[in-house]
Amino acid sequence: MAAAYTCVDLGAHLNNVAWTTESNTREGAFNVWRNSLPADELPDGGRITVEDVPFDLPPADGGRFDNVRCEGQVLAVPTGRFDWIYLLCAGERRVEDEMALHFADTAVDFEPLRVSDYWVAPPVFGETAALTTTVMHYPHHVQPDVPGTIWCQRVPVVRRCALHAVRFPENIAVHVVAMTLCGSDRGPSDAG
């Protein structure tokens, strides 16, 4: 069976600036030290493909909110049966937390979300580097030779029921840039 992908619009939940330009590095808020990634090295919105999975990126022009800093937000998703939730995300240090998956039959499952550090580091949890920069922005300067990474990670959807919402962890060290749902092309979704 062919995989079917559904890109989720995160627009209403964007609450953080991760991409900045050299002229506005003070706007960055990717971590407690207000680091950020260089907007000129990253896509400014639009669709990209990572591991054959499509993702819709928000505009990232170096000043507007461009990611979700996870604070327990609940996102309605197109109701359907899915196998995976793919995320373009990063952690401050490595992060192990969980997402709540809300189903049409009122069941709620908690699945692990493990994200490697966005600083110079190998993937700890087997993720793929989706976007990598060559420098890091600090509030008052650009630091060469300190790359940043946005990872492609996935969370399993184990329950064989229609998913209709997800809750991000209440953990501000986790940042989500894009989310795509993946399921097998197996016909209409059901509610239970």
- Which of 60, 110, 104 has the alpha carbon at shortest distance from 85? 110
Burial of residue 70 (CB within 10 Å: 0-12, 13-18, 19+) is buried
Tens digits of per-residue pLDDT, 148-177?
999 999 999 999 999 999 999 999 999 999
Position 191 in a domain: no
- The number of folded domains in the chain is 1
Range of the domain at 56: 3-184
Q: What pLDDT digit, counting tens, does each position of 47-82 carry?
A: 999 999 999 999 877 678 999 999 999 999 999 999
The DSSP bridge partners found for residue 97 are 113
Residues 6+ apart with CB under 8 A from 182: 3, 4, 5, 6, 53, 82, 83, 84, 85, 86, 154
DSSP 144-165: ET---EEEEEEEE--SSS-EEE
| Assigned domain for 42 exists | yes
User: Is 189 contained in some domain?
Assistant: no
* pTM of the predicted structure, to 2 decimals: 0.93
Residue 149 lies in a domain: yes
Neighbours of 93 (CB within 10 A): 13
Say yes or no to pLDDT of 110 above 90: yes
